[in-house]
Chains A and B, each alone.
Chain A
């Protein structure tokens, strides 16, 4: 099976981000997508802590710790970028002004429910950050994740067992084995890695996939 690497997954997501899009890339795997956006394609990256037009990491020694991203890493501002306060930043997110938001996930349901903030394990300290606002706010919410857990269980599920982040908010799921559209009509296979059939995916996930 030609499983995609995490970088290949990021490159595949980047293909679907058009010029002019306002985009928020979540912490973790989605952050890699920025590395695969071609330089000539103008895409506006938003960071929830209050910047639009986020650039790459600065050179070592050039960090300004008052210029950081949502993951609290030092970043740069592109020419034309700007700063704003938190209420404006979340108005951009919640108010439907972002075209695309890319998030990681523990689980996504075939209806587009998202679970990505809390494992629900006893003793785990819960932390949500902007996950719930990002999930429901953008015109399109994409998820990037490996299709299977290390134990081989599908993370695309009929119904999430982890605590939910948002209901019916995900439109597309990019995985290492296939891309799915999800929503009220269930999950549909958009494309698969070479050599993998729809029936293989049905067997791996246990789902009725269109």
Chain B
């Protein structure tokens, strides 16, 4: 019997080692898998490359990972926020490398990795600082920039419900990067509020098919839903 569920968050993050590239879902705190990140911090690994839309908010999630000094490089679109002080401090001290990517290019590059594409041409960013030195091409009268996929060793995402085959549904705008990160990483680890029996999810409404998910762990009501 195939059962991708694991009993706790420690087992969920097993195998993540120093230097890994880790995608972390979430837009701000919505969809941020705080419990998996806490387990990653407890695991003690560092020198990580983190792919997330932001660079941490407040004290939890990606912010806590940065505060703990575990992040060598972050690939994100919007690191400058009023409550991203742990990133600000690390960045100004030269302790963290930043690759800034326009948000839609970030999504498209992650999706390209998951879809097995070698690269994409995107109009976003053409003629700006963020396209400097990159190959360009005019296609059908419009200028495009060549951008490469973003792959990862692991993806840590948060979904609402999942089953033992790894099928997932999400909740509201917490969906954000989850479905595409699940496709792009070699190993995708999902934390869910509830593991439901096989067949309980309506197959017409499954958002992430189980093929993209290797492990899932039931968390109950996660931190970011309790916080307000």
Q: Which residues of A contact B (CB under 8 A)?
A: 47-51, 63-68, 72, 77, 83-87, 89-90, 93-94, 118, 123, 125-133, 136-137, 163-167
Q: How far is the CA of A181 from the CA of B176 in the complex (A)?
A: 35
Cβ-defined contact, B77 with A85, below 8 A? no
Instruction: List which B92-112 residues lie within 8 A (CB) of chain A.
Output: 92, 98, 100-105, 107-108, 110-111
Q: How far is the CA of A125 from the CA of B77 in the complex (A)?
A: 12
User: Does B28 sit at the interface, judged by CB under 8 A?
Assistant: yes
Cβ-defined contact, B126 with A83, below 8 A? no
Q: Which residue of B107, B124, B176, B228 contacts A132 across the interface (Cβ within 8 Å)?
A: B124
Q: How far is the CA of A83 from the CA of B225 in the complex (A)?
A: 18
The segment from B4-12, B14-22, B37-45, B177-185 found at the interface with A is B177-185
Cβ-defined contact, B173 with A94, below 8 A? no
User: Does B127 sit at the interface, judged by CB under 8 A?
Assistant: yes
Cβ-defined contact, B176 with A165, below 8 A? no
- Sorted nearest first, the 3 A-B pairs with minimum C-beta distance are A90-B104, A133-B104, A127-B80
Q: Return the chain A residue nearest B122 by Cβ.
A: A94
Cβ-defined contact, A94 with B79, below 8 A? no
- Inside 8 A of A127's CB, which chain B residues have their CB? 77-81, 100
Cβ-defined contact, B108 with A87, below 8 A? yes
Most chain A beta-carbon neighbours within 10 Å: one of B53, B91, B127: B127
- Inside 8 A of A126's CB, which chain B residues have their CB? 79-80, 98, 100, 129
Q: Return the chain A residue nearest B178 by Cβ.
A: A85
- Inside 8 A of B78's CB, which chain A residues have their CB? 127-129
Decide yes or no: A94 and B29 within 8 Å by CB, A64-B172, A85-B179, A126-B80 being known contacts: no
Cβ-defined contact, A65 with B224, below 8 A? yes
- Inside 8 A of A133's CB, which chain B residues have their CB? 102-105, 124
- Inside 8 A of A66's CB, which chain B residues have their CB? 30-31, 171-174, 224-225
- Inside 8 A of A136's CB, which chain B residues have their CB? 123-124, 126
B145 to chain A, nearest CB (A): 10
- Inside 8 A of B122's CB, which chain A residues have their CB? 94
Flag B195-228 by CB within 8 Å of A: 1 or 0 each.
Answer: 0000000000001000000000000000011011
Cβ-defined contact, A49 with B173, below 8 A? yes
Q: Which residue of A83, A90, A125 contacts B172 across the interface (Cβ within 8 Å)?
A: A83
Q: How far is the CA of A83 from the CA of B170 in the complex (A)?
A: 10
Known: A72-B29, A86-B180. 12 other contacts (CB 8 A): A50-B176, A65-B227, A66-B31, A83-B172, A86-B27, A87-B108, A126-B79, A128-B77, A128-B101, A136-B123, A137-B124, A167-B143
Decide yes or no: A166 and B127 within 8 Å by CB, A130-B77, A132-B102 being known contacts: yes
Q: Which residue of A47, A77, A118, A130 contacts B104 across the interface (Cβ within 8 Å)?
A: A130
Q: Which residue of A65, A118, A125 contacts B88 across the interface (Cβ within 8 Å)?
A: A125
Q: How far is the CA of A208 from the CA of B56 in the complex (A)?
A: 46
Q: Which residue of B77, B129, B174 contacts A129 across the interface (Cβ within 8 Å)?
A: B77
Decide yes or no: A49 and B176 within 8 Å by CB, A68-B30, A125-B80, A130-B102 being known contacts: yes
User: Does B138 sit at the interface, judged by CB under 8 A?
Assistant: no
Q: How far is the CA of A135 from the CA of B81 in the complex (A)?
A: 21
B149 to chain A, nearest CB (A): 12
- Inside 8 A of A47's CB, which chain B residues have their CB? 173
B79 to chain A, nearest CB (A): 5
User: Does B117 sit at the interface, judged by CB under 8 A?
Assistant: no
